[in-house]
Amino acid sequence: MTAYVVDASVAAKWFLNETHAVAARRLLSDSFSLHAPDFFLLELDNLFCKRIRRGEIAVRDGDEARAILRSGPIQFHPVASLQDTAYAIANQSGRSIYDCLYVALAVLLNEIVVTADRRLYQALSGGPFGKYVAWVGDIRDA
C-alpha cells in the first residue's frame, strides 16, 4: 500500500467538480494510505462554509462531506508534533506555515504530499523539498 499526505486542495476535489477532481478521487482507492495534519478538517470546514455562502453547494452537501471526512480514509496527525519542522520549512521555502505543516508531515513520514495547489507545487518542486511534493495529476493507481 502506498502512503501519501493529502492536502485540503486535493480533498476538496473529492466533493466538488473542479479541474483534477478525477485525479484526486483516485487517491480514495484502497491501494493508498492517506495522512494529513489534524487542522486539515478546519481548512475544509472553512472551504465548505465559503462555498455554501456563495451558493455553490447546499448546506446538506457540506454536512455530508464533513461527515465523510471525519469517518473516512485519512489518518490524522496532531499539528503540535509538526509545528517546529513546519516553521523551519516555511522559513526556508517562503511558503505559509499552513502549507508547510503538510510538508512537515511528509518529511516525518518520509512520504509525499499530494497537492492541487499549483503555487505550492511550483514553489517546492525545484528546491530541497521537491522530493516531498507531487502534483495531483501525476499520481497513478498503485
pLDDT digits (tens, 9 = 90+) for 29-62: 888 999 999 999 999 999 999 999 999 999 999 9
Residue 47, pLDDT score: 96
Domains, the chain, with CATH or none? 2-38+74-138 (3.40.50.1010)
Q: What is the pTM of this model?
A: 0.92
Residue 121, pLDDT score: 95
Mean pLDDT across the stretch 83-112?
Answer: 96
Run of H or E including 50: helix 40-53
Strand spans (E) along 23-137: 32-37, 74-77, 112-115, 133-135
Confidence of residue 17 (pLDDT cuts 50, 70, 90): confident
Residue 142, pLDDT score: 54
With a CB cutoff of 8 Å and minimum separation 6, the contacts of 102 are 5, 7, 36, 37, 113, 115
